[in-house]
Structure 1
Amino acid sequence: MIDSEDRLGFDGLSSERFLDSEAASVILREAADKAVEDAEPPPEPPLQPMVFIYVVLVAMGGALFGLEISNISTAHELLCNHDFASVCGPKAKSTAFFQGLVTSCITIGAFFGTATSGIPQERLGRKFTLVVASVIYIVGVVIEIVSPSYAILVTGRILVGIGVGWFAATVPMYIAELSPSSIRGRLVTANQLNICIGILLGYVVNWGFAGGASPPSATAWRWILGVGVAPAAVLFFAFLLVTPRSPRWLAKQHRHEEARQVLLSLRGDYPAFVEWELQGMISATTESASGWAKLREPAAMRTVLVGIAISVIQQIVGVNSVNGYAPQILVSAGFSGKSSLTLSIVIGVVKVGFVAVALGLMDCLGRKTLLIGGTVVMGASMIVLGVLLDKYSSDPPTSVAWGSASMLFLAMASFELGQGPVVWLLMSEIFPLNIRGAAMSLGSASNFLFNFIVMLTFPLLKSPHALGEGGVFYLYSGICFASCVFIGVFVPETRGRTLEDIEQVFRRGTDRKPASSAAVGLALNQ
């Protein structure tokens, strides 16, 4: 234990100058680590029902993201076939570039949304960031529905993207900050599960408007794009009236009593554990620097670079080429237009099913095992898919068409076991509390920037004058295998650690599990 006259409590530090001293902060941490290295945390309480309810509500924000990924390809096709001249002008022509731009412009908005999301996350908190994101999303969808011109349609898509970007950057972080560490992986994976449910819903809506026996109406594309208004309105009221503030955000704002009350509602009547967890949060907020200023520190920079790298990898393996262009890929494989819409629904079902499997395995096998294993299988399936599309580029037999579809299913299944849920989970875990908003903004913005690049370039790359139908999947496969090397070397295993302990992994430069920072906080306040 630390003598009372040498003790440095969080509520009464010896001087303001100490708080401003980086050297003193290091001494404080080293002394505290030494004092409590043998300390054991209190037993973690069982999962409270309210935590599950909050996670379900918050994760539904991911469904809007998934819906917007999958519904645009069919909406664009209907726009081109039935209403193109009236919206885009009589002289406008639908080209591969135009298709890529309309499909991907939502990611332009999402890029700016994620890049700026750290500001409301830190000033308004996670809860009210999601409230405002719901409003932005609804306004954007309404503009899409009534758009009389191509420019206004793109404006609506970009606004929708900003809302989606705020959701994407905030939802996994918010869930991670509400969740107990023992099942945090499963609960944060609920975000990816909802993204896949949204993708499936988008495919079902596409089929409903374009896959039936009767020809779709000229305005069907507007109805497809407008489906998200109702769930977004429900989420607006849920975020505003039901979900709590993040206890870690409250601790960072020095609103410790409010943080304690939120933790009691999340953990139940276990005051010893609540106090232990709260002191860990308080300990993590005693850094002299925070936000963008702290990003210059070597340990923080290492964390952010790893987060940016895995978020970029998640996109450049090509998943959103499949999510956004699944019907067209299946037509290239040999299926009819209506059959491709039906099989797109199967892709959505596969994605939901396998992310549900990942949800059960996340806290058992660990993050790295699923990430590397899923990426290897995805790369292998894309090689086979590329060979089939290359060898049978014209009039493929039925067996080859189904072989291509099977490889597409396998690629999406393996993505949802690894890259899909694990990357967003890791980004919600590895960033230190004092830079979490800024770092999550950078990681998510990088994700959407490369999402935009992938979706914009796919129609161009698969043309016969570029890589061709099969060649583009060879490219994605090579990226899959190369990324496994990076993951194996630079990404730590975070299973079973508190968010504060994960911060210490990057601070110490080792994957060895350090003394808990929550115990540090308790020791310093005894």
Structure 2
Amino acid sequence: MKNLSVVATLVACFGTFFVGYDAGVMTGMLSVPATEARFGLEQPLVRGIVVSSLYIGAFFGSLGASIPLDRLGRRRAIMLGSVIFAAGVLLQATAFYVEQIIAGRLLAGIAVGIMHSAVPIYIAEIAEEYRRGALATAIEMVLVFGIMVSFLVSLGAYHLDDNVGFRLAFALPILCVPPLIFGMQLLPESPRWLIGKGCTKDALQSLSRLRNLPEDDPILYKEFSQLCSSIENEAQTGEAKFAELLSPCVRKRVLLSLSILVLGETTGLGTIFNFIPDIMRMAGIHRPEVHLLVGAGRSGISMVASGICALLVDRIGRRPLFLAGATCMGAAMGILSALIAVRGFPSVDDQAASYCSIAVVYLFAIGHNISWNSIAYIYATEILPQRLRAKALSISIGIYWLVRTMVVQVAPLLLSLLGWRVFSIFSGICFAIAVGLYFWLPETKGVPLEKMDEVFRDRRLAMSTSSMP
């Protein structure tokens, strides 16, 4: 099949649809007063625990993701994650107590952790280098689409009987699991993983299917030979061990992979994403229907921004998009802080300030989705060595989820204690990140995974936005 790598990317990304849906549906339910009252979600501490429980599960899922990724393969790891996710969703949909929702979100979070490791690795290893960045943006585009659907479903659930509405909203993503498992069964495994397991014949067949070229084609054979040579050279050092992540030649890349993921969370993403109802109330907008529509609108704008990123990432590179995103988010947070701070002043039109706050939330979404939300995972994946990729990424994503858990846990308390000042803090962090990335972020546009070592050996090449020949 022509462009099978594109089809494989879209099928694999189908798993991120229900990841986004489950993350978004809880935010939507926070806007439904009946659901809040049923489970005691009016209390900031309980809200934080319920929302962050998904990320606690993701932390443990990420740390253990390297086991199925290395032993079962990239495809089967995705399928395993989808089965675990279905079990977690069932627990939430049948919940009668808040403890059951927390347990279901913990289980679903384990699946999220596996998916967020497996899907980027699978895409990075099957994609051609000239469109690896563009294909990777599909991960977040589908995830954001899942979030948008969750807000629209929550809006519908708001008008249904409480006992039916929230259960229907939680259960819907189960419908996505069978098509994902069936689709992944039909797709080829990562050629790089197969070579690492000594299955060179299967790897050649897999690469042949992905590139739509016969196995004896010179172009295909050249790529296959380069893969084999690179992976065999790495394999000569023996079985990959976690201790190797601290070796001087690898440590810098692992720290950069970790940093690019964690820095995205310190921009205030978790607060903007998970607590839209709280922010809208601070801005003077109290109708639950408006909260849900704002969330859905933000997701729609995020999809458009991700699409723009897909068009640009393999043309202008990763660095310019990260820098533009951090600057845009910093400006949005600063403006949001000012708009909320001036509400109530005699000379200020409160209604105008409220609607401007919505626009600024959308501006933040644009900044985040032309940068971190679209390319952070693929960047954190592609810079890592092949034989250590699964182990290093599982730790990086695990720590990312741990940081996100802490941010989401304290966000409701900070919003109630500091109010608009929280957004001023996030604004300063965003601008500081932009400055740091300008000096320390290497460019990886157009670089084959097998030549990534050269990027980190040559600083001039690392800071260039031109493709590697």
TM-score norm. by structure 2 comes to 0.92
Change (3 A) 1:112 1:171: same
Q: What are the Cα deviations for residues 374-401 of structure 1, in whole angstroms up to 9, with x where unaligned? A: 1101101110001111111699622111
* Percent of paired sites with the same residue: 26
1:433-512 alignment to 2 at 5 Å? 433-463=386-416, 466-468=417-419, 470-506=420-456, 508=457, 510-512=459-461
1:34-433 alignment to 2 at 5 Å? 48-78=2-32, 81-82=34-35, 84=37, 94-210=42-158, 212=159, 216-239=161-184, 241-269=185-213, 271-285=217-231, 286-287=233-234, 288-289=237-238, 290-335=240-285, 336-392=287-343, 397-433=350-386
Q: What are the Cα deviations for residues 391-431 of structure 1, in whole angstroms up to 9, with x where unaligned? A: 11699622111111111110111110112112112012101
Deviation at 1:132, TM superposition (A): 0.6
Unpaired runs of 5+ residues, structure 2, are 463-469
> Bigger CA drift: 68-77 or 302-311?
68-77
Deviation at 1:148, TM superposition (A): 3.3
Distance in 1 of aligned mates of 2:299 and 2:31: 19
Q: What are the Cα deviations for residues 283-323 of structure 1, in whole angstroms up to 9, with x where unaligned? A: 22222042424213212111000111111011111112222
Deviation at 1:93, TM superposition (A): 7.6
Distance in 2 of aligned mates of 1:342 and 1:75: 13
The question of whether the paired residues in 2 share the 8 Å contact of 1:75 and 1:225 is answered with no
Deviation at 1:438, TM superposition (A): 0.4
Distance in 1 of aligned mates of 2:106 and 2:195: 34
Deviation at 1:206, TM superposition (A): 1.3
Q: What are the Cα deviations for residues 4-29 of structure 1, in whole angstroms up to 9, with x where unaligned? A: xxxxxxxxxxxxxxxxxxxxxxxxxx
Distance in 2 of aligned mates of 1:381 and 1:147: 38
| RMSD value, Cα | 2.0
Distance in 2 of aligned mates of 1:83 and 1:71: 13
Distance in 1 of aligned mates of 2:41 and 2:335: 34
The question of whether the paired residues in 1 share the 8 Å contact of 2:137 and 2:374 is answered with yes
Change (3 A) 1:216 1:385: farther
Which of 1 and 2 has greater Rg?
A: 1
Change (3 A) 1:82 1:354: closer
Aligned equivalent of 1:4: none
SS in structure 1 of the partner of residue 438 of structure 2 = helix
Deviation at 1:216, TM superposition (A): 4.2
Q: What are the Cα deviations for residues 350-387 of structure 1, in whole angstroms up to 9, with x where unaligned? A: 11111011111110110000011111011011100011
Distance in 2 of aligned mates of 1:268 and 1:352: 29
> Bigger CA drift: 188-197 or 267-276?
267-276
Q: What are the Cα deviations for residues 39-90 of structure 1, in whole angstroms up to 9, with x where unaligned? A: xxxxxxxx93322211110111121221122110232454x635855xx5xx
Distance in 2 of aligned mates of 1:443 and 1:48: 34
> Bigger CA drift: 293-302 or 383-392?
293-302
The question of whether the paired residues in 2 share the 8 Å contact of 1:251 and 1:282 is answered with yes
The question of whether the paired residues in 2 share the 8 Å contact of 1:291 and 1:434 is answered with no
Unpaired runs of 5+ residues, structure 1, are 1-46, 514-526
The question of whether the paired residues in 1 share the 8 Å contact of 2:4 and 2:211 is answered with no
Q: What are the Cα deviations for residues 96-153 of structure 1, in whole angstroms up to 9, with x where unaligned? A: 0111111111000011111110111011110000111011000111111122333222
Change (3 A) 1:120 1:59: same
> Bigger CA drift: 396-405 or 157-166?
396-405
Distance in 2 of aligned mates of 1:344 and 1:153: 22
The question of whether the paired residues in 2 share the 8 Å contact of 1:203 and 1:345 is answered with yes
The question of whether the paired residues in 1 share the 8 Å contact of 2:344 and 2:350 is answered with no
The question of whether the paired residues in 2 share the 8 Å contact of 1:75 and 1:222 is answered with no
The question of whether the paired residues in 2 share the 8 Å contact of 1:69 and 1:323 is answered with no
Distance in 1 of aligned mates of 2:382 and 2:91: 36
Structure 1 counterpart of 2:366, one-letter code: A
Distance in 2 of aligned mates of 1:435 and 1:369: 28
Distance in 1 of aligned mates of 2:168 and 2:275: 19
1:16-31 alignment to 2 at 5 Å? none
Distance in 2 of aligned mates of 1:149 and 1:156: 11
Change (3 A) 1:407 1:82: closer
Structure 2 counterpart of 1:281, one-letter code: L
Change (3 A) 1:320 1:52: same
Change (3 A) 1:234 1:483: same
Distance in 2 of aligned mates of 1:94 and 1:387: 26
